[in-house]
């Protein structure tokens, strides 16, 4: 069987579900990394007033993490920390964090999830906001990690003179991190 007979899921059979699941998993497994890398590449071009584009910003972030000797999961998280910018401009931290969640530790998920708010320390006050908005998380066990990420791997990654690595250098690391957990099913199994 290559195609289902149903037009409404309420008529879906056991065999159809097995077939669909297998196709979905194979497709997702082989396409996810390419899709994410393509999304990064899509940020090439517009600098939006900065001195470099968001593609270079992402590479600089990942390069700094790598050169600082951090774990591979953190390198990949840095590479993708702004990957949701083009598709979720109002909530890019949450969207990027959810994308990498199955493949990274809880700590790294938390850091990426909150990096937008923590990064606001450097500019919220210039927009009439509160640069210390992140203080509400002061007692959180990963506050320092997120503060460090923003200071060392984000706010300082807008440098046209920085010698960042090429995307190809990160591809084996992306492969390694994403291979650790195989996609198992359509949607979310309860
Ligand atoms: Fe960001
Ligand atoms: Fe960033």
Tokens standing for 114? 């909150």
CA of 81 to the centre of ligand 2 (A): 6
For the chain, the average pLDDT equals 95
pLDDT on residue 185? 76
CA of 158 to the centre of ligand 2 (A): 9
pLDDT average, residue stretch 82-102: 96
Residue entry with tokens 């909150």: 114
Which ligand is nearest to the Cα of residue 118, counting in written order?
Answer: 1
CA distances from 188 to 46, 102, 145, 183, 185 (A): 36, 12, 29, 10, 7
pLDDT average, residue stretch 116-144: 97
Whether 149 has a pLDDT exceeding 80, the answer reads yes
Tokens standing for 133? 């908005």
pLDDT average, residue stretch 109-137: 97
Residue entry with tokens 């990957």: 83
CA of 82 to the centre of ligand 2 (A): 5
Handedness of CA 33, 90, 81, 134 (dihedral sign): negative
| DSSP per position, 81-99 | TTTTTTT-TTSHHHHHHHH
Local confidence band at 179 (pLDDT 50, 70, 90 cut-offs): confident
Local confidence band at 26 (pLDDT 50, 70, 90 cut-offs): confident
- Helix %, strand %, coil % for the chain, to 5? 60, 0, 40
CA of 46 to the centre of ligand 2 (A): 15
Whether 189 has a pLDDT exceeding 70, the answer reads no
pLDDT on residue 91? 96
Whether 79 has a pLDDT exceeding 80, the answer reads yes
Total residues found in the chain within this entry: 190
CA distances from 176 to 8, 93, 105 (A): 38, 23, 14
Tokens standing for 95? 């969207």
Which ligand is nearest to the Cα of residue 84, counting in written order?
Answer: 1
CA of 32 to the centre of ligand 2 (A): 21
Tokens standing for 105? 């530790």
Share above pLDDT 70 across residues of the chain, in percent, rounded to a whole number: 98
Whether 190 has a pLDDT exceeding 70, the answer reads no
Is the full-model pTM beyond 0.85?
Answer: yes
Residue-range domains of the chain with CATH: 20-179 (1.10.3210.10)
> Which burial class, exposed, middle or buried, applies to 84 when counting CB atoms under 10 A from its CB (0-12, 13-18, 19+)?
buried
CA of 112 to the centre of ligand 1 (A): 8
């Amino acid at each position: 069987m290559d195609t289902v007979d149903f037009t409404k899921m309420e008529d879906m059979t056991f065999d159809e579900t097995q077939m669909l699941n297998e196709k979905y998993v194979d497709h997702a497994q082989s396409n996810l990394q390419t899709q994410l890398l393509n999304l990064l590449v899509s940020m090439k071009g517009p600098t939006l007033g900065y001195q470099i584009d968001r593609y270079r910003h992402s590479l600089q972030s990942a390069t700094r993490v790598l050169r600082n000797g951090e774990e591979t999961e953190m390198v990949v998280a840095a590479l993708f920390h702004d990957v949701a910018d083009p598709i979720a401009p109002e909530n890019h931290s949450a969207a990027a964090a959810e994308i990498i969640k199955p493949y990274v530790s809880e700590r790294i998920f938390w850091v990426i999830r909150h990096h937008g708010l923590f990064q606001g320390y450097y500019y919220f006050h210039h927009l009439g906001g509160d640069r210390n908005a992140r203080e509400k998380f002061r007692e959180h066990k990963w506050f320092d990690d997120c503060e460090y990420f923003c200071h060392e791997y984000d706010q300082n990654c807008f440098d046209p003179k920085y010698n960042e690595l090429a995307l190809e250098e990160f591809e084996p690391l992306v492969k390694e991190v994403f291979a650790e957990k195989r996609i198992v099913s359509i949607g979310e199994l309860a």
